[in-house]
Chains A and B, each alone.
Chain A
């Protein structure tokens, strides 16, 4: 195991952990419910660790990406339904991320939002075309490490650590009205969805094949998933906790994406503000690329087309057309003028509905000795895998009713 590779892998996972949905929901969760939802972030993070490790293991051992194996397991009809559903979910997510990038560029430069949406899409597409896979992943992941300013800011504002620690213990707060309980439940579902977004497993496993992982890379895979995602989730939790300290007493929702940057501006002034905005810019940009690539991967793998950014764009022509097409579609959604914050709600909703369909084949495959040999899920893997499958299925069933009853968490 190369220590430099491992460190870079962990840092990439940390910097790439937060996307616009986690940012928005962390800030809102902190303001509305104090520290009470921290444990949900922890539970969801363990979930993505479990499924991330599994998808990396399947890539390294079976050497086939999730979507190929998924179609083989589910068959054509159910496979097509899953494909379509996940394409839609990821497309909405990609559009939300592009909207987020446009907002951040607007906050940084004052340039008009729509213009920034077009410009950022162009830059993202250019970097996809020019850079090889590893550079794309590393650049946006490492630059996303500016998000660490949120963790430092939390320490600087001196929150009540004892109370904060209490948030790590699973509990439902006392004294909530029925309405508030329903909104709390909605937030639980939304956080699980945002942390365990389906695009992450597709991107991670396809990336593993792009980088030609083999069984010798399994320890690195395991460490990257646990340490990387674990540290990354601390960034989301910092945003939540700062929101509790700063936004809750000030009656701030927040409604605007840019308000989160105030969490770093209040303790550190303009330096903090700019670091926070830079972190948000690269973390959200990275997510835009990952959601788009995940869709291109899924489509090509499902139909057996050449795929991968390891090859030059003209060596995998339909893959290239696919990711260009998805970027343009996502941009088109933004250009309709729809509020990206609404897109975040839809993304989270669609994604949780798709999640059980996406994870089931992965879980079955990772536990199948005929594909995985000695690397199939052991008792721990099976227990956690099925536990989390149950959790996401329950969340998926409750998502739509909760969304409707609570008007998307607004009450």
Chain B
């Protein structure tokens, strides 16, 4: 019985495509946008070192690119949002970055409740 459940779970996880499968990348991008905003906010307040700020911004970009390229629906609205987030300059204001993160959160929530 456990084996059957396991096989079923694997099939369900593997066969899903589209927005459901992209949920983990939307969630990841949302978090990355929020972390970027937090870093920029704390950096403006003089609480971070230059090395840390720069390294974190680079890490965010790299992870966002990976998430973006993993999407199964590259023409969706959330793909566009992630693209817009990537297009922001390194020192974008926290508000701008959070706007993207919040949009992604709303998409994430609507997909999860679906």
A: which residues have CB within 8 A of B? 103, 106-110, 177, 179, 250-256, 258-259, 261-262, 265-266, 269-270, 272-274, 277, 397, 400-401, 404-405, 407, 410-411
Q: Does B34 contact A (CB under 8 A)?
A: yes
| Residues of B4-59 contacting chain A, CB below 8 A | 5-6, 9-10, 12-13, 23-24, 27-28, 30-32, 34-35, 37-39, 42, 46-52, 54-56, 59
The one of A251, A269, A404, A411 that contacts B34, using a Cβ cutoff of 8 Å: A251
What residues on B are CB-neighbors of A269 within 8 Å?
46-47
Q: List 10 A-B contacts (CB under 8 A).
A: A103-B59, A108-B49, A250-B34, A251-B102, A256-B59, A259-B39, A273-B48, A401-B6, A410-B27, A411-B24
The one of A251, A256, A401 that contacts B63, using a Cβ cutoff of 8 Å: A256
Q: How far does the alpha carbon of A36 sit from the alpha carbon of B24 in the complex, in Å?
A: 22
- B51→A107 contact, CB < 8 A: yes
The one of B9, B32, B56, B112 that contacts A411, using a Cβ cutoff of 8 Å: B112
- A270→B47 contact, CB < 8 A: yes
Q: Does B82 contact A (CB under 8 A)?
A: no
What residues on A are CB-neighbors of B30 within 8 Å?
251
- A179→B112 contact, CB < 8 A: yes
Q: Which DSSP category, helix, strand, loop or mixed, fits chain A's interface?
A: helix
| Interface residues in B, total, Cβ within 8 A | 37
User: Provided the pairs A400-B6, A401-B5 are in contact, do residues A270 and B48 lie with their beta carbons within 8 angstroms?
Assistant: yes
Q: Does B101 contact A (CB under 8 A)?
A: yes
CB distance from B110 to the nearest CB of A (A): 14
The one of B23, B48, B51, B101 that contacts A251, using a Cβ cutoff of 8 Å: B101
CB distance from B43 to the nearest CB of A (A): 10
Q: How far does the alpha carbon of A266 sit from the alpha carbon of B31 in the complex, in Å?
A: 18
- A252→B6 contact, CB < 8 A: no
- B47→A252 contact, CB < 8 A: no
What residues on B are CB-neighbors of A274 within 8 Å?
49
- B52→A108 contact, CB < 8 A: yes
Mark B79-109 against chain A: 1 for CB-CB distance below 8 A, else 0. Answer: 0000000000000000000000110010000
What residues on B are CB-neighbors of A256 within 8 Å?
32, 35, 56, 59-60, 63
What residues on A are CB-neighbors of B24 within 8 Å?
407, 410-411
The one of A265, A397, A404, A411 that contacts B42, using a Cβ cutoff of 8 Å: A265
Nearest A residue (CB) for B10: A404
- A254→B35 contact, CB < 8 A: yes
Q: How far does the alpha carbon of A404 sit from the alpha carbon of B3 in the complex, in Å?
A: 13
CB distance from A377 to the nearest CB of B (A): 32
User: Provided the pairs A253-B35, A269-B46 are in contact, do residues A258 and B6 lie with their beta carbons within 8 angstroms?
Assistant: no
- A255→B51 contact, CB < 8 A: no
- B9→A405 contact, CB < 8 A: yes
The one of B31, B48, B50, B52 that contacts A254, using a Cβ cutoff of 8 Å: B31
User: Provided the pairs A251-B101, A252-B35, A262-B39 are in contact, do residues A404 and B63 lie with their beta carbons within 8 angstroms?
Assistant: no
What residues on A are CB-neighbors of B27 within 8 Å?
253, 410-411
What residues on B are CB-neighbors of A108 within 8 Å?
49, 51-52
Q: How far does the alpha carbon of A411 sit from the alpha carbon of B59 in the complex, in Å?
A: 23
Nearest B residue (CB) for A265: B47
CB distance from A86 to the nearest CB of B (A): 24
- B51→A259 contact, CB < 8 A: no
CB distance from B85 to the nearest CB of A (A): 13
The one of B31, B52, B63 that contacts A277, using a Cβ cutoff of 8 Å: B52
